[in-house]
């Protein structure tokens, strides 16, 4: 590999001058500029980022930790983050946790050793150890999707969205509404969405039947199973079902179709997240759009802000949402 020294020699200058030329810092005469430019063009010289980083403590790389990349939400978020960061000359290095909390911490360390300038963490379940690890991080971190006390985060208005959506169902005349959630460890999806649902019912004095509440994990088949469980154990069939994610909703719809329960005539279904699939299935799914694109860009901007202002206060941003009315209600 060709180095700055060799460029300097070929251009009849010192490496200091070449460096000043490269970074546009300090004086370089026009003649020297021309000579250096020529040599660089001819040799195809590309400066080593490692040597640079070692000296400057800046890497222009941001670490992004995601639970898994192959989901709609993750890939849209990462795409938006990348677009925004690229505009500011940053690249991203990916770390995939495959939903394992241990890997979340391991990745945090890995990224630290690469001296990334900052980290964006797409959090799922937040535990004590993770918070401790984040706190002692020497670089800024922005969490997405979950509230983490003391650090900057961006969350969706999970509570408001779930409440609004439930109210929509009530407005349409539904009184017997089933609910398929996920474990409450996941504060955002498990706890807040459930709370929004419950509060909406309570405000309208609509009773909640335990038989209509089921728990799934994040995948489609678990939505299918949850719907099955609900309908098989209850005598009084609900007229609508609220699912905390689109995948769960689509799984539930599959079961309903299987037993020839018509959507929305016999049973209304709503999801959450506005996955790409949701608009192409039949009937198209009424859901909540959280604008991942916007969230990703905001996250990138917030992180860049923290990188600039190292002593900036932690910020909490709550994204707005919109209800997408389609044919499943």
Partner DNA sequence: GACTAATGTGGAATCGATTCCATACACATC
Partner DNA sequence: GATGTGTATGGAATCGATTCCACATTAGTC
Residue for token pair 């860009």: 297
User: With CB under 7 A, what is the number of residues at the site for DNA?
Assistant: 31
Q: Does 59 bind its own copies (CB under 8 A)?
A: yes
Which of these segments, 12-20, 117-125, 213-221, 284-292, binds DNA (CB under 7 A)? 12-20
Residue for token pair 């917030």: 302
CA–CA dist 139, 119 (Å, integer): 8
Residue 136: name its binding partner from its own copies, DNA, none (Cβ under 5 to 8 Å by kind). its own copies
Start-to-end CA distance of the chain, whole Å, equals 63
Residue 99: name its binding partner from DNA, its own copies, none (Cβ under 5 to 8 Å by kind). none
Of residues 302, 307, 308, 300, the one with CA closest to residue 85: 300
Q: Rank residues 55 and 265 by Cβ distance to DNA and give the closer one.
A: 55
Q: Does 298 bind DNA (CB under 7 A)?
A: no
Q: Does 61 bind DNA (CB under 7 A)?
A: no
Q: Does 241 bind DNA (CB under 7 A)?
A: no
Q: Does 227 bind its own copies (CB under 8 A)?
A: no
CA–CA dist 71, 69 (Å, integer): 6
CA–CA dist 64, 288 (Å, integer): 25
Among 26, 149, 183, 312, binds DNA (CB under 7 A): 26
Q: Does 49 bind its own copies (CB under 8 A)?
A: yes
CB of residue 92 to its own copies, shortest distance in Å: 5
Among 282, 315, 316, 325, binds its own copies (CB under 8 A): 282
Q: Does 19 bind DNA (CB under 7 A)?
A: yes
Among 10, 32, 121, 151, binds DNA (CB under 7 A): 32
HSE value, Cβ hemisphere, 13 Å, CA-based, for 168: 22
Q: Does 127 bind DNA (CB under 7 A)?
A: no
Of residues 110, 180, 123, the one with CA closest to residue 151: 123
Q: Does 11 bind its own copies (CB under 8 A)?
A: no
Of residues 150, 10, 122, 127, the one with CA closest to residue 63: 122
Among 12, 91, 127, 322, binds its own copies (CB under 8 A): 91
- Residues numbered 115 to 154 that lie near its own copies (CB under 8 A) are 115, 136, 138
CB of residue 89 to DNA, shortest distance in Å: 14
Q: Does 110 bind DNA (CB under 7 A)?
A: no
DSSP labels for 156-174? E-HHHHHHHHHHHHHHTT-
Q: Does 281 bind its own copies (CB under 8 A)?
A: yes
Are 226 and 215 in contact by the 8 Å Cβ rule? The answer is yes
Residue 31: name its binding partner from DNA, its own copies, none (Cβ under 5 to 8 Å by kind). DNA
**What radius of gyration do the chain's Cα atoms show?**
26
Are 211 and 149 in contact by the 8 Å Cβ rule? The answer is no
Q: Rank residues 27 and 280 by Cβ distance to its own copies and give the closer one.
A: 280
Are 117 and 58 in contact by the 8 Å Cβ rule? The answer is yes
φ, ψ dihedrals at 301, nearest 5° = -65, -45
Q: Does 15 bind DNA (CB under 7 A)?
A: yes
Are 197 and 189 in contact by the 8 Å Cβ rule? The answer is no
Tokens of 94: 């990916």
Collapsing DSSP states into helix, strand and coil, what is residue 153?
Answer: strand
Q: Does 51 bind DNA (CB under 7 A)?
A: yes
CA–CA dist 45, 24 (Å, integer): 17
Q: Rank residues 26 and 312 by Cβ distance to DNA and give the closer one.
A: 26
Among 24, 25, 70, 89, binds DNA (CB under 7 A): 25
Residues that bind its own copies (CB under 8 A): 1, 44, 46-51, 53-54, 59, 61, 68-70, 74-76, 78-79, 82-83, 86, 91-96, 98, 109-110, 112-115, 136, 138, 250, 276-277, 280-282
């Amino acid at each position: 590999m060709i180095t700055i020294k060799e460029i300097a020699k070929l251009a009849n200058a010192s490496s200091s001058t070449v460096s000043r030329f490269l970074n546009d810092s300090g004086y370089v005469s026009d003649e020297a500029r021309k000579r250096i430019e020529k040599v660089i063009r001819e040799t195809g010289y590309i400066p080593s980022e490692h040597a640079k980083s070692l000296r400057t403590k800046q890497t222009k790389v941001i670490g992004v930790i995601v639970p898994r990349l192959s989901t709609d939400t993750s890939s849209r978020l990462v795409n938006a983050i990348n677009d925004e960061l690229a505009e500011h000359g940053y690249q991203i290095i990916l770390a995939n946790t495959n939903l394992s909390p241990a890997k979340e911490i391991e990745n945090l360390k890995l990224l630290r050793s690469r001296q990334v300038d900052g980290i964006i963490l797409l959090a799922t379940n937040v535990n004590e150890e993770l918070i401790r690890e984040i706190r002692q991080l020497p670089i800024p971190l922005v969490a997405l999707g979950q509230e983490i006390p003391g650090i900057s985060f961006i969350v969706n208005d999970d509570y408001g969205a779930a409440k609004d959506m439930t109210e929509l169902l009530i407005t349409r005349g539904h009184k017997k509404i089933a609910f398929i959630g996920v474990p409450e460890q996941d504060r955002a999806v498990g706890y807040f969405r459930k709370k929004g649902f419950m509060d909406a019912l309570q405000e309208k004095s609509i009773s909640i039947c335990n038989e209509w509440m089921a728990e799934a994990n994040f995948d489609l088949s678990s939505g299918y199973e949850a719907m099955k469980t609900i309908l098989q154990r209850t005598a009084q069939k609900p007229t609508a079902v609220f699912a905390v994610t689109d995948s769960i909703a689509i799984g539930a719809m599959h079961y309903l179709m299987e037993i020839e329960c018509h959507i929305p005539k016999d049973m209304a279904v709503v999801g959450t997240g506005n996955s790409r699939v949701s608009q192409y299935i039949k009937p198209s799914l009424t859901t909540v759009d959280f604008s991942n694109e916007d969230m990703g860009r905001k996250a990138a901007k917030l992180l860049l802000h923290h990188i600039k202002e190292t002593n900036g206060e932690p910020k909490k941003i709550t994204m707005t949402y919109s209800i997408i009315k389609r044919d499943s209600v």
